[in-house]
Amino acid sequence: MTSRYTRRELMVVAAAREIRDHEVVFVGMRLPLLGFGLAKANHAPDAIGLFENGVIRDRPAEAFIYTMGDPPNIVGAVACLGLVDVMSLLQQGRVDVGFIGGAQVDPLGNLNTTRTSSNGALTRLPGSGGAGDIASLAGRTVLIMEHEPRRFRERVDYVTSPGHFPGRRRGGPATLITTLGVFDLSTRRVRAASLHPGVTPQQVREATGFPVTIEDHTPATAIPTADELAYIRHADPDGFWTGDSMKTG
Amino acid sequence: MKLKRSLREAIAEQVHDGDAIALGLALESGIPFAAVHEIIRQQRRDLTLIGPISDMAFDQMIAAGTVAKVIAAWVGNVAGGSGYGFRRAYEQGQPRRIVMEDHSNFSVGLALKAAAMGLPYLPTFTGIGGDIVRGHPRIRPIGDPFGGPDLLAVGALRPEVAIIHVQRADAQGNAHLWGNLGLTVEAAYAARRTIVICEQVVPEAVIRSDPNRTVIPGFLVSAVVEEPGGALPSSVQGYWRRDFEPFLAYHRMSRTPEGLQSWLREWVLDLPDRAAYLRHMGEANLARLRVSDRRLAAEANFAP
């Protein structure tokens, strides 16, 4: 059976694979939220999810949620603490992996969600939220990005969420999941771990404003299994997060 | 008498021009939109807004010209990303210029927590290596007196007013809140005055039956107002579901200054109070959003 899937469904599956069993995960919304649920259903049944509003869950919400504060994310939670409580666990080193995204990324995995300036025109973005904290304090971070030249910069205009820098206490960007592929950031240079099916190295280079290593034997990103797709479509029945005009596969 | 007849009276008494106000503290739920709209109607000026992520509440107050400064980790519209009112103020000074003090969620939480603890600052590792903390007015590098690595000190932040939406409170302001807490407790402890807005005013025996659920003791509370549905379109656990569409509608309307002003007229300025707002929403919408099923917590025996 050939399953059709969207780019975003592929990214959810890639995000899920970044979560190992028994890990404590700072979840976030959108694709990582679905990735957490998928990991729990598949290979990481004992993973724990923390949300920055203070919620701790060991199973996904029973109904679709638009925000982490929606009532279905509270029902059946393990605990509802405060923001400072869960951030304290993060600072203490109890969180293995956190997911973050941004408007711009650079080769060191710095993310900008604060402000950009192009040709002197200032654009104000919403800001850090909890992303700067996750970037600073998690055991490792997974970055999720739309892969576009204007977003992939030699240097970001503003470092909202710090990537690799000298003297970092712990953690840092490990993996970058984009609409074109999965990239290893752990060695402080950007290396393609896999390209999504149908994506060429040239496409990636044209969409990336900095050097990226793509070896000849770089594999294709594993496509979602029927079970994985079934889970995602159960969790996001209308394709609110994972819908994509561009059907692939 | 702490229990006020109306939110109008509470805001008139407790919120003054130039105040620093903490609100939206439970993040996406329990945002006190009724109070936000009353502050806009009463034309407060030069306010400082404090919160973690404010969803569209801060955007509306900024667009209405009530705000001089924002101290927050994220300002926008969770449903759509950009807050156009905030962007126009920050980028173009329209309708007026605002000062932005950027934070992460943790650093704004620590600033409130420091004030709540009566401390001048709290140390942290968050933000090191990034641009938020560079030249920040409230965050400075410090050494560890015990010889560990260097840290950042986050200076205390004491709001004049915290505005909190809870499920129930008694007439003294003893407030029960369950579900999302976010920075609610820190802000209520840090603020000089706290306004508690509740779905229901209950007899004090209800509060005393479950003291662990009291997140704000009444002696810290300046005013109590019963305003059912006062947090809509945000959710209140056990009372209201989140109404997603108004966030999208505001996102669309607020793209232009004219659209935003017309939104403010329709949903704030042309309505006298929250009861009128709920009537404007319509009974069908209220029925769709009101929680009628029950998922009750187990009893906890407090017998001595």
> Domain residue spans in chain A?
5-240
Catalytic residues of A: 52
Nearest to A67 among B131, B179, B242 (CB): B242
Q: How many domains does chain B have?
A: 1
| CA–CA distance, A44 with A36 (Å, rounded to integer) | 9
Identify the helix (H) or strand (E) that includes residue A10. helix A7-17
Provide the pairing of β-strand A55-57 with A79-80.
antiparallel
- The C-alpha of A182 sits at a distance from chain B's nearest C-alpha, in angstroms, of 24
Minimal-distance CA residue of chain B relative to A125: B82
Please, which residues bridge with residue A192 across strands?
A183
- The helix/strand/coil state of A39 is helix
- The C-alpha of B108 sits at a distance from chain A's nearest C-alpha, in angstroms, of 10
Under the banding of pLDDT at 50, 70 and 90, the label for residue B260 is very high
Calculate what percentage of chain A has a pLDDT beyond 70: 96
Strand ranges in B15-77 using DSSP code E only, listed in sequence order: 20-22, 47-53, 67-74
Q: Pick from B186, B194, B111, B123: which is nearest to B155 by CA?
A: B111
- B61 φ, ψ (degrees, to nearest 5): -65, -40
Q: Pick from B71, B213, B109, B236: which is nearest to B165 by CA?
A: B236
Question: Which of A67, A75, A108, A111 to mutate to test binding with chain B, by most B CBs within 10 Å of its CB?
Answer: A67
Provide the pairing of β-strand A247-248 with A191-195.
unpaired
Residue A248 pLDDT > 60:
no
Under the banding of pLDDT at 50, 70 and 90, the label for residue A243 is confident
Please, which residues bridge with residue A247 across strands?
A6
pLDDT value for A245: 47
Scanning the structure block, which residue is given the tokens 């590792």? B125
Tell me, yes or no, whether B114 lies in a domain: no
Tell me, yes or no, whether B203 lies in a domain: yes
- The helix/strand/coil state of B269 is helix
Question: Which of B75, B94, B181 to mutate to test binding with chain A, by most A CBs within 10 Å of its CB?
Answer: B181
| pLDDT, tens digit (0-9, with 9 covering 90-100), for B175-234 | 999 999 999 999 999 999 999 999 999 999 999 999 999 999 999 999 999 999 999 999
Calculate what percentage of chain B has a pLDDT beyond 90: 98
Cis peptide before A224 (omega within 30 of 0): no
Q: Pick from A116, A97, A100, A215: which is nearest to A156 by CA?
A: A116
Which domain CATH number covers B182? Answer: 3.40.1080.10
- The C-alpha of A83 sits at a distance from chain B's nearest C-alpha, in angstroms, of 5
Which residue type is seen at A75?
V
Chain A neighbors of B26, CB-CB under 8 A: 53, 69
Question: Does the distance separating the beta carbons of A128 and B74 come in below 8 Å?
Answer: yes
CB neighbourhood size of A4 (10 A): 10
What's the mean pLDDT when you consider all of chain A?
A: 93
Q: How many CB pairs under 8 A join A and B?
A: 172
- List CB contacts of B227: < 8 A, sequence separation 6 or more: B7, B34, B197, B198, B199, B274
Q: Contact B74/B46 with Cβ under 8 angstroms?
A: no
Where in the sequence is the domain holding B56, given as residue range(s)?
A: 7-104+158-289
Q: Does domain A5-240 have CATH number 3.30.70.1900?
A: no
Residue A244 pLDDT > 70:
no
Tell me, yes or no, whether B134 lies in a domain: no
Tell me, yes or no, whether B146 lies in a domain: no
Tell me, yes or no, whether B294 lies in a domain: no
Tell me, yes or no, whether B139 lies in a domain: no
- Assessment of whether the complete model's pTM goes beyond 0.80: yes
- The C-alpha of A79 sits at a distance from chain B's nearest C-alpha, in angstroms, of 9
Identify the helix (H) or strand (E) that includes residue B245. helix B244-253
Q: Pick from A128, A186, A120: which is nearest to A161 by CA?
A: A128
Chain B neighbors of A134, CB-CB under 8 A: none
What letters, b where the CB count within 10 A reaches 16 and e where it falls short, cover A104-137?
bbbbbbbbbbbbbeeeeeeebbbbbbbbbbbbbb
Question: Does the distance separating the beta carbons of A82 and B184 come in below 8 Å?
Answer: yes
Minimal-distance CA residue of chain A relative to B132: A160
Q: Contact A168/A118 with Cβ under 8 angstroms?
A: no
pLDDT value for A246: 43
Nearest to A162 among B78, B129, B241 (CB): B129
Tell me, yes or no, whether B298 lies in a domain: no
Q: Strand A97-101's sheet: what is its strand order?
A: A79-80, A55-57, A48-50, A24-26, A97-101, A140-145, A173-178, A181-184, A191-195
| CA–CA distance, B182 with B130 (Å, rounded to integer) | 24
